[in-house]
Amino acid sequence: MVDESMRAALRALPKAELHLHIEGTLEPELALELAERNGVMLPWTSLDELKRQYAFENLQSFLDLYYQLMAVLKTADDFRDLMLAYLKRAAADGVRHAEIFFDPQVHLGNGLDLDTVMDGLLEGLRLGRERYGIGGGLILCIVRDLPVESARHVLELAAPRAADLIGIGLDSAEVGYPPSLFADVFVRARELGLHCVAPAGEEGPAAYVTEALDLLHAERIDHGVHAADDPAVTRRLAEEHIPLTCCPLSNRRLQVVHDLRDLPLRKLIEAGVTVTVNSDDPAYFGGYIGANYEALAEIGFTYDELKALAADSIRASFLPEADKRALLG
Ligand SMILES: [Zn+2]
């Protein structure tokens, strides 16, 4: 068991969060508050009833709830409040820098415009820096099971605000939506000066990791645990210094593994791959980044090992080198 002093020590480690969907931080309390503020009718009236929905059974019931609750986000103030609630928790867990995904296609589908979403999130980031001393930026996330045309469209809408973004990423269902579908979207993103990241090898095979590197020029792989199934892919990640953004509690909640001990994190680390610890959709998956570090401590990772992973998360960020040195110092 992780005792209180270990818990505090892990939370005190300066770290970066590199795989976090802001919509996945919507706690039931805030969801109900925003529903009331905006006059959005939800099928659940009480907090207890809504909390029970968060005990979903499988990926589909998670996604159903996730998309349904996003409808409570209507105004820039809502996005600001969502961002601030996350940054407050992250700062308490020792996060000093966060590179945060958001899903513009879903919000556009709910009738919002891109500026409303981005202005609110950026205002939240500005206030978070001021109040909690935590820095960060936004990664535009493409929903891979929506038509590719919609991805192209949202990227063109975002193009005039490329300077407000760190990068482009992908999310939602992996199997059946290989990285190759989005090759031209990522070419355009690179033209706009965006960093490229992509999930691969979460539920999909190691071959998707290769595709994400070859066709999307991904600079980081989100999840990527199945890279460990193929020694050549593992070696390539190590040699090309491509970090993985792993999310242990998410993997367990979505049954990528039944037991955290089955995650090949040590195998990847020993092969020279940079592994980072992140929380993915923490309101839904059982804990923020501190809880993910603790979960690894519970399966035997030592403080020194976790300290090294925290330092690697800062190195794996897109911060300028001087900022990385300052945080590591
Ligand atoms: Zn994710």
Contacts of 6 (CB under 8 A, 6+ apart): 294, 297, 303
Q: Provide the residue type at 50 as one letter.
A: L
Q: Are 223 and 202 in contact (CB under 8 A)?
A: yes
Q: Which CATH architecture has domain 4-26+73-328?
A: Alpha-Beta Barrel (3.20)
Q: pLDDT tens, 240-284? A: 999 999 999 999 999 889 999 999 999 999 999 999 999 999 999
How many A from CA of 161 to the centre of ligand 1? 23
How far is the C-alpha of 14 from the C-alpha of 327, rounded, in Å?
7
How many A from CA of 133 to the centre of ligand 1? 25
Active-site residue identified among 23, 27, 202, 211: 202
Q: Are 168 and 155 in contact (CB under 8 A)?
A: yes
How many A from CA of 250 to the centre of ligand 1? 8
Q: What is the pLDDT of residue 230?
A: 97
How many A from CA of 247 to the centre of ligand 1? 8
How many A from CA of 49 to the centre of ligand 1? 26
Active site residue 202: yes
Q: pLDDT tens, 41-81? A: 999 989 999 999 998 877 788 888 999 999 999 999 999 99
Confidence of residue 1 (pLDDT cuts 50, 70, 90): confident
Residue 148 CA from chain centroid, whole number: 21
The pLDDT > 90 percentage for the chain reads 91
| Cα angle, residue 244 at apex, residues 224 and 325 outer, rounded to 5° | 175
Q: What is the pLDDT of residue 57?
A: 78
Q: pLDDT tens, 8-29? A: 999 999 999 999 999 999 999 9
| Domain ranges, ordered by start, for the chain | 4-26+73-328
How many A from CA of 226 to the centre of ligand 1? 15
Q: pLDDT tens, 168-203? A: 999 987 788 889 999 999 999 999 999 999 999 888
Note the residue count of the chain.
Answer: 329
How far is the C-alpha of 132 from the C-alpha of 150, rounded, in Å?
36
Q: What is the 3-state secondary structure (H, E, C) of the chain?
A: CCCHHHHHHHHHCCEEECCEEHHHHCCHHHHHHHHHHHCCCCCCCCHHHHHHHCCCCCHHHHHHHHHHHHCCCCCHHHHHHHHHHHHHHHHHCCEEEEEEEECHHHHHHCCCCHHHHHHHHHHHHHHHHHHHCCEEEEEEEEECCCCHHHHHHHHHHHHHHHHHCCEEEEECCCCCCCHHHHHHHHHHHHHCCCEEEEEECCCCCHHHHHHHHHHHCCCEEEECHHHHHCHHHHHHHHHCCCCEEECHHHHHHCCCCCCHHHCCHHHHHHCCCCEEECCECHHHHCCCHHHHHHHHHHCCCCHHHHHHHHHHHHHCCCCCHHHHHHHHC
How many A from CA of 283 to the centre of ligand 1? 13
How many A from CA of 18 to the centre of ligand 1? 10
How many A from CA of 252 to the centre of ligand 1? 13
pLDDT above 90 (res 208): yes
Q: pLDDT tens, 117-130? A: 999 999 999 999 99
